[in-house]
Amino acid sequence: MGEAKRRKQLGLMPTVHPFEARMAEDGGITLTRAPEDARLREQITDALRLSQPYGPAWASEYRTNYVMAGRPDAFLETAADVEAIPVPAHRRFAGDLVLGKAGPETAGVSFPVPGGSVRLREQQHSFDGKRWESFPSNADPRRALEYLMQHPAVQERGEVVATFRAEHWPEGRIDIEPDPPEELLDLLESVTREWHGETPEDWLDSHRGLLEQGGEEPEDDLPVPVARRLVLELRRPAPLLSPLSLAFATRGNVEFHPVTAQSSYSLDGENWLNYGDGEDAEPAPDDLMAELQNFLDIATVTVTVHADGRVQWADGDIPEEHQDSLKADLTQSTGAGNAAAWAEWTTHLFTDTFAGELEVPEGETLPVPVAVKLDIPKDALGDPDPLAQTFMESEVTFNGQDWRDLYSEELPEELQPYAAGQGAN
């Protein structure tokens, strides 16, 4: 106890404040569980209001997730087809405000706030405020993108509502023309700093990247711009969010689109040079599709984790230097070797993967598989972050012989008795 107190006083341990909140259609936040300190409550509500979309932006995000989950039963050809998908009005969050130094996040979504971070452990939505559900948190991103990109409506873009030019100087000064409404000023400045970089190194790196994107080959000793001008198009959210949207950031109900071809920089504060000349300065749709295909073709290795704690892979798939850490990481994150922890993890796996499709009667539990296959990106093996942030569960077996595809359009045979609306036999 004394050591923990000492470490906390030294700032070596974080202070965690759990919270639960609801968000209305207009972005209003209601805390249903939160710390008593008004300052901490305000920090939580401000973070949620800034980070979570609402109104049209929430509609776009929900419909995109709906499509990526493979739920539409017909092709979405136009924006009107997308807008016909009903959107739940109720949302709720469970998470923590973490102040002080913390270790790597192991679950959920995390974003920074002054002095720490807000971690969202659970996000749910509801049409009536009574029955709550969430989209699968562990969906195969390759298959989800394939579902999304097959719909022609994914190419629809949001309407331009305003265009601004931000003149940015490294010491922090930002001048915006024309004068924006007061509620947009901080957002425009924040997006401009994020685009150009918060540090001198990021400032130069982003400048170099834009020159390369415009077709130049910058020298190693590239001069540092003394000022930069960024043209930003503000658009309404696109009907579906996709890699083709080119939006750099979404804040509230606005998408921020940098117009590289109209942006410029100065080496002396007087003369300005353009980053690009027309559309050649921005990625063409074909380039984006090529990058998307590269993502879809990401190299992975398959690892089998057994309920009894064994972790197996094909000979030569895992470099020797990563084998011990891989086993330790996967047994810890799945609970393998501990019957109760394994059952809890696999239950979450099924309820997340088949959100809304399973209904477990009170007092009953889902069957527990004896092994699960995981697809792990090869380039994640040497990362310090937990593999739970990157691996994708692909198949399960309940008897050690018959494998069930988690991303099949039908529930695994062993889970069929628990299909929603059917009840256990």
Q: What is the pLDDT along the chain (425 residues), one digit of tens a residue?
A: 444 444 444 444 678 899 999 999 888 999 999 999 999 999 999 999 888 888 998 999 999 999 988 889 899 999 999 999 999 999 999 999 988 754 444 345 777 788 888 888 889 999 999 899 888 766 677 778 888 888 999 888 888 999 999 999 988 899 999 999 988 898 999 999 999 998 999 999 999 999 888 777 878 788 999 999 999 999 998 999 887 666 888 877 788 999 988 899 999 988 999 986 434 444 444 444 555 555 555 677 889 999 999 999 998 888 888 888 889 889 988 999 999 999 999 998 888 777 667 888 888 899 999 999 988 877 777 766 655 556 778 899 999 999 998 876 678 889 989 887 665 44
CA distance 336 to 316: 23
Report residue 155 as tokens: 């190419």
Residue 174 in contact with residue 189, Cβ under 8 Å?
A: yes
| pLDDT the model gives residue 419 | 83
| pLDDT the model gives residue 40 | 94
Residue (of 226, 229, 232) closest to 204 by Cα position: 226
- Give, for 142, the enclosing helix (H) or strand (E): helix 141-149
CA distance 61 to 59: 6
Alpha-carbon distance values, 372 to 314, 368, 397 (Å): 15, 10, 7
CA distance 360 to 289: 41
CA distance 55 to 46: 17
| pLDDT the model gives residue 3 | 41
DSSP state at residue 235: E
Residue (of 11, 15, 35, 31) closest to 23 by Cα position: 31
Report residue 163 as tokens: 């265009």
Alpha-carbon distance values, 172 to 89, 164, 203 (Å): 40, 18, 12
CA distance 107 to 111: 12
Contacts of 283 (CB under 8 A, 6+ apart): 213, 246, 291
Residue entry with tokens 């008593």: 36
| pLDDT the model gives residue 276 | 65
CA distance 309 to 341: 11
Pairing state between β 174-177 and 227-235? unpaired
Sign of CA dihedral 213, 214, 219, 225: negative
Residue (of 123, 136, 118, 117) closest to 93 by Cα position: 123
Sign of CA dihedral 32, 35, 40, 44: negative
Residue (of 224, 226, 182) closest to 204 by Cα position: 224
Contacts of 142 (CB under 8 A, 6+ apart): 295, 296, 298
Residue (of 148, 243, 234) closest to 187 by Cα position: 234
Residue 229 in contact with residue 272, Cβ under 8 Å?
A: yes
CA distance 125 to 61: 12
| pLDDT the model gives residue 282 | 45
CA distance 339 to 330: 15
For the entire predicted model, the pTM comes to 0.61
User: What is the distance, to the nearest Å, from the Cα of residue 71 to the centroid of all Cα atoms in its chain?
Assistant: 20
Number of neighbours of residue 257 by Cβ within 10 angstroms: 21
